[in-house]
Chains A and B, each alone.
Chain A
Amino acid sequence: MTPLLAIQHLSKHYADKTVLDDINLDIQRGEIIGYIGPNGAGKSTTVKILTGIIQDYEGVVYYDGIDIRNNLFELKQKLGYVPELAELYEMLTPKEYLYFVGKLHHLEDAVIEERMQNMMGSFGMSQHLNERIDSFSKGMRQKVLLVSGLLHNPEIIFLDEPLSGLDANAVMLVKELLQVLKQQGKTIFYCSHMMDVVEKVSDRIVLINNGKLIANGTLAELREQENESLEAIFARLTHASNPALQMRSFTDTQ
C-alpha cells in the first residue's frame, strides 16, 4: 500500500550545521505518529519541511506518491498545522482570525461560521469569540490555534506541542479529539515532549536525536523490558545522563 507520506533521505543543513541527517520514514493513512526527540533534535524542522514552510532541503518527500515539491499546493489543501509557538494576529478576535484562516483555505462563510461555533464551543470558548486574542491566557490562545489548524477539515494534521499551556481538562479534551480524528481516518503527526500523552495516543513512535532517526516502531517494539515507560526508552536511546547527578552539579554552582 502506498504510504500517505513517504520521507526519503531527508537532510537539512544550516551553513555547517546538519539539522536533519538522512531521515527515512513512511506514514500510513490513519496512523498517529508520535514524533519525539530531545530539544534541538530537528523535530520542528521536520514539521516545517513537511508543511511546506521550508523548501530548501535534500531528499524527497512524497505525499500520496507525488513529490511534494511538485505538489505543494495540493498538500497544503489537505494539511492542518498547529505550530509550537502560538503566533496569532492577536489584535483580532478569534472569530475574525478564524474567518481569516478559513478564507485562506477557501471555505464558504457559512461553513466557517458553523465549524467555528462548534469547535470553539467544544473547547468552552463560545463566550470569548468576540474578545481580542491579546487579552487571552496561553491556554486560550492554544485553543484558538488548535481550532485554526482543524477548521478546514484536513486529511493530515501536524501538531507541534499542541498541549502547550492547556489545563488538565483541556488536555483530556485534546486526547479525546485525537481519538475522534483517528476514527475519522485522519493521519496525525504528533510532536511532543509530553511522553505520557505520546505513549497513550500514538500508534507508532519515531525518535530522532541530533537530526538522525534512531528508533521507529510501536511502543511494544521499542521496549527492552516489559512495562518500560516511554520516558525510560527515550532516556536510554538518547543516552541521557542521570538527571539527579546533573541537577546536583547545577545546585553546587549556586
Chain B
Amino acid sequence: MNRFFLFILMLPQALWRKMGADTEQLKALLRVRLLLDGRRPLGMSFKKTTTHKKTNTAVTSSILSFFFGFIYLMPILAMQEQPIMAMTFNYSFFLVMIVMLLTSDFVNVLFDARDKHILLPRPIASPTLFLAKMLHILVYLSRSVVPMALPSWIAIGFVFNYKMVLLFPLVLLLLMAMALFFINGIYLLILKLMPAHKFKDALNTIQILFSIVVFFTMYIGPRLINFDAVEQINWQHFSWMQYLPTYWLAAIYKLVGATSPFASVGMYAVLGLITPLLCMWIITKYLSPSFMQKIVAVDAVSAQVETATPQTGDSKKTAKSTWVYALATKLNTSKEAQAAFLLTWWQTNRSRAFKIKVLPSYAMMPMYVIGMFFLNNDKPIAESIQLAMHKQSTYLFLIYMTSYVFFNAITYFIHSDAYKASWVYFVAPIAQPGKVLWGGLKAIWLKYFFPFYCLVSVLVLSIWHWQALPDLIIGLFNLTIIMTVIILLSFRALPFSKIESMQTQQRKFLRGLFAMLIPFVLGLLHFLILKFLWLKWIVLVLLAIAVYYLIDSILQSPWALIKDESDL
C-alpha cells in the first residue's frame, strides 16, 4: 500500500521541484514516514504487534468511516434539483471534519520535536521538509476521508449523473489539499509574523479559535437553510454562498453540466481549480522557506526560557509547601496514587501536546450548546432562549455535554512523547497498578472536569433553581460512571506511558464516536426519571454503589490488564 501512495505522491515531481523541493529527499522522507506509520514502537517488554491485528484495525476503521459517511448524504438527497448547491453543502461538511482532524491531531506532525535532532542537522531545504510533512498528512487524511466519501460518491451516481461520479475524486483531492495547505499556511503565517518565543503559547489560542469557527459553521450553517423546505428556497437570498471556497469546488461540476442557481458558475469553477494550487504555491514559495529556522528558533527559545525561569521558586523550599503536594496527599491514601496524581497534574500543566488536544473542547462545548438550543431557525434567538430555559431537558443536555470535555482529557493523559520514561513504573514495587491509574485519573477528574461541572451547575441552578439539584448530583455520578467505564473499556493504561501513533489517533476517533453513545444512553435514562423526585433519590443511592464498584475495579486492575502498547 505504501508503494502505491508513494507512487501517487511522486507523480507530480516536476511540480514539487518547481515548488523548491528536492524530489529525491522528498521521496526518502515520505518513504520513511509511511514506513514508520506502519510500525509501532516496541513496548517495555518488546512485545511485537502482529500484522494481522494491524490489518484488522485498518479494515474496521475504514468500515466505520464508511458508515459515518452516510451522514454527509443529507444535502445530496435533499437538493436533488440543485447539484452544485448539494455538493457545496456536502463539501462543507467534509471541510469541517477535515479541519477538525487537522487542528487537533496533525499539528504535532507539523511541529514534531524529534525533527530537531534527526532532520534539522541534515542538508534538507525547508520546502522539502514542509512538503514532505504536507504530503504525509494528506495520506493520512485520505485514509479517513476516502471511506467516508464513498457513500456520497456512490449516491451522486444515482441522484445526479455518472459524469459527476468521474469528477468526484479530483474535487475531493482538491478539497483536501485546499484545507491542508490553508490551515497549515495560517500556522506558518503566524510563525512568520510572531516572535518565536510566543509561538508555542499562541498555538493553543489559534487552535481554540479554529475550533470555535468550525463549530460555529457546523451548527449555524445548516440552521440557515431549512432542509425540509429546500425546494422552495429562493437561492438569491443566499448569494453570499458564492464566496465560499466549497462552492467554488462544487462549481467544478459545471464542467460536466451540473446546474447552479447563481450566475458566473464558470468563473467560480476556475477558482475552485486554481485556489488549492495557488494555496500550495504561495505557502511553499513564501512561507515554508523559513520553516526550519523557525522550528529551531521556537525550540531554542523555549529551552532558554525554561532554564532562566525556575519553575517552583526557591530550591530550599520544602515540597510540602506547595498546595499540589498537599492535595495529592489529602486525596490519595496510597503513595503510588499520590505519585500518579502529582505526575498527571504537572505533566498536564506543561505538555503543549496535551493542552492543544484538550483545551479546545472547553470552547467547543458552549458552541455546541448555543447551536443546539439557542439557534432555532424558525424563531428569533431571544424566543429560542426563552423556550429552552423552560424545558428541564435543556439542563440535562448541559449536564451530559460536560462529558465531552473530560473525554479528551482521559484519552490523552495516558499518551506522551516521553512514553519511554514509563520504565519507572515497571521497576517500581507496584502491586496494584490500578492505584496508579486511579491516582492519575483523579487528577484529571479534579482538574479538567469538576471545575467545569461546577460552572455548569451554577448556570443550571441560577436558571432552574433548586429543583435541578438532585439532577446535578445524579449527573455528577453518571458522568463519573461514564469516565470509569471508558477507562475500563478502552484506556486502562498508566499515565503518560503510551506513544500516540497515527493508528491510535484513528482508533481513538472511532472509539470516541462510540464513547459518546454512553452519555447519550445515560442521559436518556435520566430524562425518563426527570419527573419523579422520589425515584431520583433511589437512583442516586444505586449510582453511588455503582461508582464505588467501578472505582474499585479500576483500583484492582492487575498488571495483566494494563494495556500494552499493542492493545491501544
> A-side interface residues toward B, CB under 8 Å?
14-15, 51-56, 73-74, 76-77, 79, 81, 83, 85, 87-93, 95-96, 99-107, 109, 112-113, 126-127, 129-132, 134-135, 148
Contact = CB atoms under 8 A, between A and B. Distances in A.
Contacts of B424: 100-101, 104, 148
13 contacts: A53-B44, A53-B426, A54-B46, A73-B429, A85-B420, A88-B418, A92-B346, A104-B436, A109-B329, A129-B315, A130-B314, A132-B306, A132-B307
B312 A93 contact: yes
In the complex, which of the residues A51, A107, A129 has the most CB atoms of chain B within 10 Å of its own CB atom? A129
Contacts of B356: none
A148 B427 CA distance: 12
Interface string B24-59: 000000000000000000001110100000000000
B311 A76 contact: no
B310 A130 contact: yes
A15 B44 CA distance: 17
B391 interface: no
Contacts of A55: 45
B421 A104 contact: no
Contacts, number: 122
Given A85-B420, A107-B335, A99 B427 contact: no
A39 to B, nearest CB: 17
A109 B312 contact: no
B322 to A, nearest CB: 10
Given A99-B319, A135-B303, A92 B310 contact: no
B318 A113 contact: yes
Nearest to B436: A104
B325 A109 contact: yes
A209 B422 CA distance: 29
A76 B421 contact: no
Interface stretch (B283-291, B336-344, B541-549): B336-344
B63 interface: no
B496 A89 contact: yes
B425 to A, nearest CB: 7
A213 to B, nearest CB: 21
B315 A89 contact: no
Contact of B336 (A51, A93, A104): A104
Contact of B315 (A15, A73, A79, A126): A126
A203 B71 CA distance: 71
Given A95-B319, A103-B336, A53 B428 contact: no
B432 to A, nearest CB: 10
A197 B428 CA distance: 28
Given A87-B418, A103-B336, 16 more contacts: A53-B45, A53-B427, A85-B420, A87-B421, A89-B343, A91-B347, A93-B311, A95-B319, A99-B325, A104-B436, A109-B319, A113-B319, A127-B315, A130-B312, A132-B311, A148-B424
B380 interface: no
Nearest to A51: B427
A251 to B, nearest CB: 22
A216 to B, nearest CB: 25
B335 A103 contact: yes
A252 to B, nearest CB: 25
Nearest to A89: B421
B423 interface: yes
B311 A104 contact: no
A248 B335 CA distance: 57
B431 interface: yes
Interface residues of B, number: 43
B425 A104 contact: yes
B428 A135 contact: no
Contacts of B306: 131-132, 134-135
Contacts of A101: 339, 424, 428
A163 to B, nearest CB: 19
Contacts of A102: 339
In the A-B complex, the 8 residue pairs with the smallest Cβ-Cβ separation, listed nearest first, are A103-B339, A104-B428, A76-B429, A87-B420, A135-B307, A77-B429, A91-B350, A103-B335
B343 A100 contact: yes
In the complex, which of the residues A14, A106, A148 has the most CB atoms of chain B within 10 Å of its own CB atom? A106
Contacts of B310: 130-131
A135 B342 CA distance: 21
A132 B335 CA distance: 23
A185 B229 CA distance: 86
Contact of B339 (A52, A76, A79, A104): A104
A159 to B, nearest CB: 13
B350 A131 contact: no
Contacts of A129: 315
B315 A95 contact: yes
Given A53-B45, A55-B45, A76 B335 contact: no
Given A77-B429, A129-B315, A90 B45 contact: no
Contacts of B312: 93, 95-96, 130
Interface in B405-438: 416, 418, 420-421, 423-431, 436
Contacts of B496: 89
B121 interface: no
Given A81-B427, A103-B339, A56 B418 contact: no
B12 interface: no
Nearest to A75: B429
Given A92-B347, A129-B315, A14 B427 contact: no
B137 to A, nearest CB: 26
In the complex, which of the residues B45, B319, B420, B431 has the most CB atoms of chain A within 10 Å of its own CB atom? B319
A96 B346 CA distance: 8
In the complex, which of the residues B312, B318, B429 has the most CB atoms of chain A within 10 Å of its own CB atom? B429
B343 A92 contact: yes
In the complex, which of the residues B312, B318, B418, B424 has the most CB atoms of chain A within 10 Å of its own CB atom? B424
Contact of A99 (B342, B351, B430, B431): B342
